[in-house]
Amino acid sequence: MIIEVLRTKPTLYNENKDISKTIENLTKEMGISIGSEFRRTCETSPDAEEAVERWIGLFQVLQEFDKKPWFRKFMTVLSEPSIKASLFGYKQKVYLSLIVGYFDCGTDIYALYIMYMLSLYIDFRWNFGYILTNLILQLIVVLMQTQGLPLRTILLELLSVWLFIKPALDAHRFVNGININPNALLSNMAEMILGKCSELFAEAIPCGLHQMKVWIQSGDMPLYIAISILISAASIGYTSALISYNFDTSREYRKKNKRFYG
């Protein structure tokens, strides 16, 4: 099993294989299947402890190994290189969502410029209002999360919203476990997801729908508006999937409701 864990290219895991529930009946083939699943678990986990926790939960026989005091610590150390070497692991998914979100924001701002230049002032005001609403909601989240912190820190956090760097700060703090306020109302994951929901429901969805209306009604609209709509749709889909993925793989939520989160 450990040899399979250390392989650069692990054997494909066979989900249909009958895995023994006791150490005494564990065979070499079963060990290979269990070890090959370890790499996949690492690639979809935010950190080493989470990866080992999920992996042990997959096989009852591993829970027997887990009774030994050295096993979990040993596997946690082994999981760290796999997580760092993952080309498209948990952290990369979060940062990709961040990049897609910034592309969406950039195209929405440029769409504002096109609407203004084409004298579509009513549509311009609507889309500007969507973006402003998103910023206001993020400001409220910042005020909730920075209670009790020095005034300078609160002002810098508020400034990050107006500079459009708050999503990047949220993603960085979440994937690296950085907590600037121990007494914050929300966890790093909840704060990031709340910011993503604000982007979705206050900006991406309404902007995309409004731009689609403008594009359909105006026969001479630039092709760029259609591209902006497609990017908004991609942002909505990927961000929604990531939010669901974060909840489904969260150790905290899986402990609270194993039947729902697995």
pLDDT digits 0-9 by tens, 219-248: 666 777 888 888 889 888 988 888 887 777
What is the chain's mean pLDDT, rounded?
A: 81
Percent of residues, the chain, with pLDDT higher than 90? 23
Q: Strand, coil or helix: what is 73?
A: helix
Q: Up-side HSE of residue 172: CA atoms within 13 Å toward CB?
A: 6
- Position 138 scores a pLDDT of 95
pLDDT class of 253 with cuts at 50, 70, 90: low
Phi, psi torsion values for 181, nearest 5 degrees: -140, 105
**Structure-model confidence comparison of residues 188 and 256, the more confident one:** 188
Q: By mean pLDDT, which of 2-6, 167-171, 245-249 is the weakest?
A: 2-6
Report, as an integer, the average pLDDT of 252-261: 65
Range of the domain at 186: 90-261
Question: Which of residues 80, 108, 138 is at a domain's end?
Answer: 80
Distance CA 108, CA 5 (A): 46
| Same domain? 119 vs 180 | yes
Residues 60, 109 within the same domain: no
Q: Could you tell me the pTM of the whole model? A: 0.70
pLDDT band with cut points at 50, 70 and 90 for residue 198:
very high
Mean pLDDT of 81-107: 79
pLDDT at 13: 46
Distance between CA 211 and CA 229 in Å, rounded?
A: 7
Q: What is the rounded CA–CA span in Å between residue 115 and residue 136?
A: 23
Establish if 218 belongs to a structural domain. yes
pLDDT of 18 over the 70 cut: no
User: If you average pLDDT over residues 67-90, what whole number do you get?
Assistant: 75
* Cα dihedral: 252, 198, 135, 138 (round 10): -20
Are residues 131 and 244 located together in one domain of the fold?
Answer: yes
Per-residue confidence band for 8, with pLDDT thresholds at 50, 70 and 90: very low
The average pLDDT across 57-86 equals 79
| Confidence (pLDDT) at 20 | 55
Instruction: Note whether 158 and 73 are same-domain residues.
Output: no
Handedness of CA 131, 127, 100, 41 (dihedral sign): positive
Is the model's pLDDT at 252 over the cut of 50? yes
Q: Are 145 and 196 in the same domain?
A: yes
Our count of domains for the chain comes to: 2
pLDDT of residue 258: 64
List own/partner pairs for 43-46 with CB under 8 A and 24 or more apart: 43/82, 43/83, 43/86, 43/88, 43/89, 43/90, 44/89, 44/90, 44/249, 45/79, 45/83, 45/89, 45/90, 45/249, 46/90, 46/91, 46/175, 46/249
